[in-house]
Amino acid sequence: MISRKQQALNSQGAQPIKTERLADELVELLRRSRGDVSLRILGKRLSNSTSDIDEASICNALDQLRSWGYKIESRPNGAIRFGGAPDRLLAAEIKNRLGTKILGSKIHAFQKVSSTNTVATQLANAGAAEGEIVIAESQTGGRGRLGRAWHSPIRVGAYLSIILRPAIEPVQAPVISILTALALAEAIERVCEIDASIKWPNDVFVSGKKVSGILTELITEVENGRFVIVGTGININQTRNDFPESLKKTATSLRISARRKIDRILMVQEFLRRFEKRYLQLLSEGFSGLRKQILKRSILIGKTVKVRGVNVPDYQGQALDIDELGRLMVETASGVVALNSGDVTLSPARKSRR
Ligand code: BT5
């Protein structure tokens, strides 16, 4: 019988990066055994309670690992030596020494999906737990806000969605986006050693360009309760030529900014750790504990900004603060406006007050 979760994945045409259990366990074992190790020893260590794993099964699993790009040497004495993991977003690699409590409890890794947010929504509808993650090497229909597209080329970025079931009011959902931006900025600074800023409501910038976008979707009125999907696209190892002409002026990657290739697994892991820390902090302390860190990294605060009006003409104002609900407070000629979401840009027309 196909589980509801599997049905959800099938309906999305998602191509899984197969991580069969034996291969996963074998990687763990090879990583831990320094130097040469024989098939017989591997078979014994992998043994289940009733019998050792036979050599043919181990050879199949080794071939599978090699086909995923793992470096596994066959030694003249018939032994095996682990030579390193591939540059691929495999579940086993992300889990290795992740050290989180809830994030990544299950990692659904794919080669190609329409949108990780769509797959995560389907999984959550089928009962997936808080902290489960969907990650893909590429997306054919990566989504931004308001039907905009997210450029998702294969094997250079990371496209991931986190399933959350927070006990917060729907009105607080925007806080999750800004918290995600903070976690990402912190992870970028740690892993890439470059400065990263937050642009309300859902972007992370490095070197004055967008390196990451966040799409938070609150899903209500479903059988499996209310849940939140936080989708994040991170441009990691794109070169300038990987971006279409339309994005070259506004988008960048961590590699371009840091002037070196970035380990995608380390980047994703650090983001997940930071996200968990900040998320648990939000649940225990509320937004106030995060506010200082967010404001410190915020590009818009204290600046004159242009707000794209919804059903009203565009207008200008002074970005003052981000409130408890994640709203941007903007002082305009006709008073202070609290924005829930929207497109806000730095206004070149007037000088900032700071
Ligand atoms: C966002 O929307 O920035 C949210 C993007 C979220 C993408 C992730 S990937 C994993 C998960 N699954 C999904 O399907 N989505 C999420 P917004 O603020 O509306 O910005 C969209 C705009 O950013 C586009 O109209 C482009 O101008 C620009 N853009 C598109 N791709 C980009 C890229 N790779 N890097 C930088 N900018 C990009």
Q: Does residue 212 contact residue 257 with C-beta atoms inside 8 Å? A: no
For residue 137, pLDDT over 70 is answered with yes
Distance (Å) of CA 56 to CA 37, 49, 51, 59, 67: 16, 19, 14, 5, 17
* pLDDT score, position 290: 95
Task: Give the pLDDT confidence of 53-103 residue by residue, as tens digits.
Answer: 788 888 989 998 999 899 999 998 889 999 999 999 999 899 999 999 999
Of the listed ranges 23-32, 45-54, 223-232, 290-299, the one predicted with least confidence: 45-54
> For residue 268, which of 164, 134, 71 has the smallest C-alpha distance?
134
Task: Give the pLDDT confidence of 270-283 residue by residue, as tens digits.
Answer: 999 999 999 999 99
- Ligand 1 mean position, distance from CA 211 (Å): 9
Q: Is the dihedral of CA 248, 253, 255, 258 positive or negative?
A: positive
Return the ligand 1 atom nearest residue 116 CA. 12
Task: Give the pLDDT confidence of 22-59 residue by residue, as tens digits.
Answer: 888 888 889 888 889 999 888 888 876 556 778 888 89
- Ligand 1 mean position, distance from CA 160 (Å): 12
Q: How does the average pLDDT of the chain come out, rounded? A: 91
For residue 76, say if its preceding peptide bond is cis, omega within 30 degrees of 0.
no
- pLDDT level of residue 188 (50, 70, 90 thresholds): very high
All domains in the chain, ordered by first residue: 18-84 (1.10.10.10), 91-297 (3.30.930.10), 304-346 (2.30.30.100)
- Ligand 1 mean position, distance from CA 199 (Å): 13
Task: Give the pLDDT confidence of 149-172 residue by residue, as tens digits.
Answer: 999 999 999 999 999 999 888 888
240 in helix, strand or coil?
helix
The pTM score is 0.91
> For residue 45, which of 30, 67, 59 has the smallest C-alpha distance?
30
* Ranges assigned E (strand) in the chain: 15-16, 71-74, 80-84, 107-112, 133-136, 158-164, 197-199, 203-206, 209-219, 227-234, 304-307, 315-322, 328-332, 335-339, 344-346
- pLDDT level of residue 16 (50, 70, 90 thresholds): low
* pLDDT score, position 105: 93
Choice between 79 and 310, residue whose per-residue pLDDT is larger: 79
> For residue 247, which of 117, 111, 151, 106 has the smallest C-alpha distance?
151
> For residue 294, which of 182, 204, 174 has the smallest C-alpha distance?
182
Pocket of ligand 1 (CB under 6 A): 115-117, 139, 142-146, 148, 150-151, 159-161, 202-203, 210, 213-215, 231-233, 235, 247, 251
Q: Which neighbouring-strand residues pair with 305?
A: 317, 346
Written as one string, the DSSP assignment of 58-75 is HHHHHHHHHHTT-EEEEP
Nearest CA to ligand 1 atom 7: 233
- On the CB side of 90, how many CA atoms lie within 13 Å of its CA? 22
